[in-house]
Amino acid sequence: MEPVQRTIVLGVEYDGGAFHGFQSQAHAESVQDALEDAIGRVANERVRIVAAGRTDAGVHATGQVVSFRTSAERPLDAWRRGVSSLTPDTIGVVWARAIESFHARFGAVWRRYVYVYSDAPEKPVIHRGLVAWCRTPLEPERMHAAAQCLLGEQDFSAFRAAGCQSKTPYRNVQAIGVARMNGYVAIDITANAFLLHMVRNIAGALRAVGVGELGSTDLRELLSERDRSRAPPTAPPQGLYLVGVGYPGMDTPVRPPPVIA
């Protein structure tokens, strides 16, 4: 008789500066490889995980969700504490659940990211790998007002990286806000899904609005032109956090970046 397979779901956080992105790579350290190695040791069998979002190199997560199938019978606390004890200090499992008919990627109905800027006069030192630095003071109120044109289902080609493999440039932005928090400027955006570098490209455009390089209506014009080459540069990865993922009928925590929490 074939062993019974069950689905385990984990909430994961990590410091993306220690990895070359989430997805497994042949010649570079990835979050996926580190997690699969630790889970496999707890399960005593090889596992393959699926993630809600494949974050880029340098991008952090406080609310990543991964799922995997296993025949191993372990208490949920073993998946949480056991896996955490076997991963590098830059990765931790926050919670664990056993849920049948669950897929971390295809089951998600929204993803939420927060991008964090420091606009202090001096470049960040202690938090240099956790925030992006803007040399010029930002005006979050202006950024927030401009960002509202991004709401709804639209063509986001203007904020789509050239290497994006999505079949469609359309995404549905459900909420976006910009505010000053704990001395930092945070861009909080939720959508059904995101294109490659979409959040970082939006963050770069909003920085330009915040320092006065773009006017209040320029963001709407960029969106309608659908031309990535006309938009401001991509914001650096270290300011970006995946903070939460939503699933129908399932309550998952949203965990803000530590610098603004």
Helices 198-210 and 140-147 cross at an angle (nearest 10°) of: 130
* Rounded Cα distance, 149 and 217, in Å: 9
Is 56 marked active-site? yes
Q: Give rounded-to-5 percent helix, strand, coil for the chain.
A: 25, 30, 45
Choose the catalytic residue: 15, 56, 119, 188: 56
- Please state, in angstroms and as integers, the Cα–Cα distance from residue 198 to each residue in 46, 162, 164, following that order: 33, 11, 10
CB 84 within 8 A of CB 93: yes
DSSP letter for 22, please. S
- Please state, in angstroms and as integers, the Cα–Cα distance from residue 27 to each residue in 17, 39, 40, 89, following that order: 17, 21, 20, 21
Residue 99 has which token pair?
A: 């849920």
CB 130 within 8 A of CB 258: yes
Q: Which residues contact 245 (CB under 8 A, 6 or more apart)?
A: 52, 53, 63, 64, 65, 104, 108, 110, 111, 112, 252
Q: Which single residue is written with the structure tokens 């062993």? A: 3
Q: Which single residue is written with the structure tokens 């006065």? A: 212
Catalytic residue numbers, as ranges: 56
